[in-house]
Amino acid sequence: MLRRSILAAAIAAFMPLTVFASADKPVAGTDYVALKTPVQTSNPKKIEVLTFFAYTCPHCYTYEKSVEPWAAQLPNDVVFKRIPVAWSDKTKHFTQTYYALEALNKLDPYHDMMFNAVIKEGREMPDLNSVADYLASNGLNKEEFLKAANSFSTRMNTEKARKTWMAYDIDGTPCNAVNGKYITAPHMVGTREGAIQVMDFLINKERENNK
């Protein structure tokens, strides 16, 4: 879920629009924050962009529709990764679901399908077996999915995801990190489109710094 950002969004609804700086000229501390301690990225030769999400997060559901086409057009010097966030063990199976689908090369179409099922349709999926049943009803082999979801590599990726969002001190979704140094999010900028503009700004900033 949105966790603390639910409160942030509620507060923002009663704040004047002028609290948000223009995404064309992002302001540090308002549209994005620079981390006091940078987080090591997976490839120092690339500019790493992370998007933190949860299948149980309604704002992630809508944000994904903006982020996905943007990410598909990123240049070769940028690597984009989704990081699923589970606030407790009760939702850890959704992180396993994401990495199982990735391992099976089935994120398309099942990643979007999971969002639709949980958010739009309001389906209850309290465990991996219920997820497997739903995916199987939509054409995915149940046994293959469960094998991938319970595999060593998926367990490692699930734990790595937890360590990653904790290293960035993420306390709400959706949220983005750029190259281990900056955090931005739609609720910080004011709009989903604005958050993407800020990411573009930060990517260019890192590109210039790397020259």
Q: How many domains does the chain have?
A: 1
**Would residue 22 count as lying in a domain?**
no
pLDDT at 191 over 50: yes
pLDDT at 127: 98
pLDDT at 211: 78
What are the tokens at 15?
A: 């704040």
pLDDT at 172: 96
pLDDT at 5 over 60: no
9-23, 94-108, 113-127, 163-177: the lowest-pLDDT one: 9-23
pLDDT at 16: 38
pTM of the model: 0.89
Domain range for residue 135? 4-15+30-209
pLDDT at 18 over 50: no
pLDDT at 210: 85
How far is Cα 134 from Cα 142, in angstroms, rounded to an integer?
9
Q: How far is CA 157 from the centre of its chain?
A: 15
The total number of residues written for the chain in this structure: 211
**Would residue 24 count as lying in a domain?**
no
Give residue-wise pLDDT tens across range 61-92: 999 999 999 999 999 999 999 999 999 999 99
**Would residue 107 count as lying in a domain?**
yes
pLDDT-based confidence at 24, cuts 50/70/90? confident
State the pairing for strand pair 33-34/182-184: antiparallel
CATH number at residue 204: 3.40.30.10
How many CB atoms sit inside 10 A of residue 74's CB?
A: 15
**Would residue 97 count as lying in a domain?**
yes
**Would residue 25 count as lying in a domain?**
no
**Would residue 23 count as lying in a domain?**
no
- Rounded to an integer, the average pLDDT of 138-142 is 98
**Would residue 20 count as lying in a domain?**
no
pLDDT at 183: 98
**List of E strands, 36-186:** 47-53, 78-84, 175-178, 182-184
**Would residue 90 count as lying in a domain?**
yes
State the pairing for strand pair 182-184/175-178: antiparallel
pLDDT at 9 over 60: no
Q: What is the percent of the chain with per-residue pLDDT over 90, rounded to a whole number?
A: 87
pLDDT at 165: 98
pLDDT at 128 over 60: yes
